[in-house]
Amino acid sequence: MIVSNFFKKITLLMVFAGLTYCTSAQEYPKAILRGDYPDPSIMRDGNDFYMTHSPFTYSPGFLIWHSKDLVNWEPITRAMPDLVGSAMAPDLLKYKGKYYIYFPANGSNWVIWANDIRGPWSKPIDLKVTRIDPGHAVDEVGKRYLFVSAGGMVSLSDDGLSVTGNIKDVYTGWDYPKDWITECKCLESPKIVKKGDYFYMLTAEGGTAGPATSHMVVAARSKSIQGPWENSPYNPIVHTYSADEKWWSKGHGTLIDDIKGNWWIVYHAYEKGYHTLGRQTLIEPIEWTADGWFKTAKGKMDSGTKEEKYSSGFMLSDNFNKTTLGLQWTAWKGYDTNVIQLKNGSLYLKAKGSGPANAQLLLTTVPDTSYEAQVEVSLTGRSTGGLILFYNEEAFAGITSNGKSVTIYKNADAHLNKSVALGRHFYLKIKNNRNTCDMHASKDGKNWVIFQSGLQVSGFNHNKYHGFFALRPGFMSAGKEGAVILDNFRYKPIN
């Protein structure tokens, strides 16, 4: 009996240990930044990791994140206040004590730089070189280059702020099977890493959206940065093989190592059924093979904590009682401090336009498939205030009021006016439950009326409306004069 009890205890301990391991072990890929964080560019600076993403027409642009463990991320600054076009696919790096972000916009490639990653950052400098998705590289003797889409490379000046030649094509990509369902070959996002005797290049192929199986990451290597480039026998390194998978259109990868010698690949993908959230930032462990290549591997991320908890570091709720606008907020197609102001403990949005398509907007990025957003609204002048879900000028939904009536937007070409007087001070709320939305309004923030229920917004995404944006909640201020005053924005996930 004593022996039997002993073995029972041992068995229970083994089962408990196994459950504990399964609980703490990570399944990959893992989302390290949920929500609209596409085209991740990541770098390590000693013990610190920094990352940024495509801002497109949201501004200020290039939100920079900081992490010590690749697990928990904190936003620290926005590097580019002014737009020079739709900015995308950046390359963030440090070289000889300076930080750089190379990026394409408005038909050219640009660079901004800083002595401190928290800024101030320079104004954008036009490199006057075409193609997209620049990737910085340094050759064997310290000469700088910029790799671009379609397998091109161009030499850079010593300070990295101008090009010194013409684009030269050095790589033709990897020929994936002809029966794979993709958008296009679309050889993009070259990222160069030097390890041992080889330069390793990661590129994206297959197109970035469309079919679930479109996107991928492929690898090649060369002992000279000029080539020739040999394709990896393990291609594709990352790919969505079936629409049954959780993550669609996986691609645009970068390799990164940690101080313990572990290697990782960071890339983006859409979550199945939630293209409205945009492309999210994922991570997987990498293992190096005996023949000097790499491939994804099973592994466990060591964050130094008991639980492997991934955190975006954003507190989206905002009382607007600070002197500077929180990093969670971006304007649409231009940020003007004369129009968007914090004063008297509130947010003031100067009125313009007639509705969400041409009004003053302020938006935020959400990480959750289901959430509730609520705000207190006051009107001045002849303004109309609203709480909206905005993709672009052709795709949006929301609830607005001019105090005398309420307007429900089901899309850009479908809205409903209701003669309900809320007055000059009221509250608005949107519940988005897995892309099904309810629109609420209240005069006192306690007694709510549902003005619209069951509104489907799942189609508000790139595959229908293009642009590579996300469906973002935010505020609208419309009218010929006056302003909309916002207070007590509340955001909370819905389980």
The full set of domain ranges for the chain reads: 27-296, 329-493
Give the Cβ contact number of residue 19 at 10 Å. Answer: 10
Question: Does the structure show a pLDDT above 80 at 415?
Answer: yes
pLDDT single digits (tens) 76-124: 999 999 999 999 999 999 999 999 999 999 999 999 999 999 999 999 9
**What pLDDT band is residue 261 in, cutting at 50, 70 and 90?**
very high
pLDDT single digits (tens) 165-209: 999 999 999 999 999 999 999 999 999 999 999 999 999 999 999
For the domain made up of 329-493, the CATH class stated in words is mainly beta
Number of helices and strands in the chain (H, E):
2, 35
Cα-based angle 260, 203, 391 (whole degrees, multiple of 5): 100
Q: What is the pLDDT at residue 313? A: 65
CB 428 within 8 A of CB 399: yes
Task: Report residue 383: phi and psi, to 5°.
Answer: -105, 160
Question: Does the structure show a pLDDT above 80 at 305?
Answer: no
CB 96 within 8 A of CB 114: no
Buried b or exposed e, range 162-196, using 16+ CB within 10 angstroms:
ebeeebeebbebbebeeeeebbeebbbbbbbbeee
| Mean pLDDT score, 422-431 | 98
Residue 102 to residue 489: CA distance in whole angstroms? 34
For the domain made up of 27-296, the CATH class stated in words is mainly beta
Residue 400 to residue 408: CA distance in whole angstroms? 7
Nearest CA-CA partner of 64 in 72, 74, 56: 74
Bond before 236 cis per omega within 30 degrees: yes
**260 Cα distance to chain centroid:** 27
Residue 483 to residue 341: CA distance in whole angstroms? 10
Nearest CA-CA partner of 275 in 462, 54, 17, 494: 462
**How confident is the prediction for the chain on average, in pLDDT?**
93
Question: Does the structure show a pLDDT above 80 at 4?
Answer: no
Q: DSSP assignment of 399-417, as one string?
A: EEE-SS-EEEEEETTEEEE
* Three-state SS at 166: coil
pLDDT single digits (tens) 132-153: 999 999 999 999 999 999 999 9
Question: Does the structure show a pLDDT above 60 at 18?
Answer: no
Question: Does the structure show a pLDDT above 90 at 259?
Answer: yes
For the four alpha carbons of 495, 467, 66 and 285, in that order, the dihedral sign comes to: positive
Q: What is the pLDDT at residue 314? A: 81
Task: Report residue 157: phi and psi, to 5°.
Answer: -65, 165
Structure tokens at 257: 């190592």
Query: CB-based burial of residue 67 (10 Å sphere; 0-12 exposed, 13-18 middle, 19+ buried)?
Result: buried
Question: Does the structure show a pLDDT above 90 at 11?
Answer: no
Q: What is the pLDDT at residue 311? A: 47
Nearest CA-CA partner of 153 in 131, 175, 173: 131
Structure tokens at 166: 């013409």
List, in sequence order, every residue forming a beta bridge with 126; answer none if it has no partner. 110
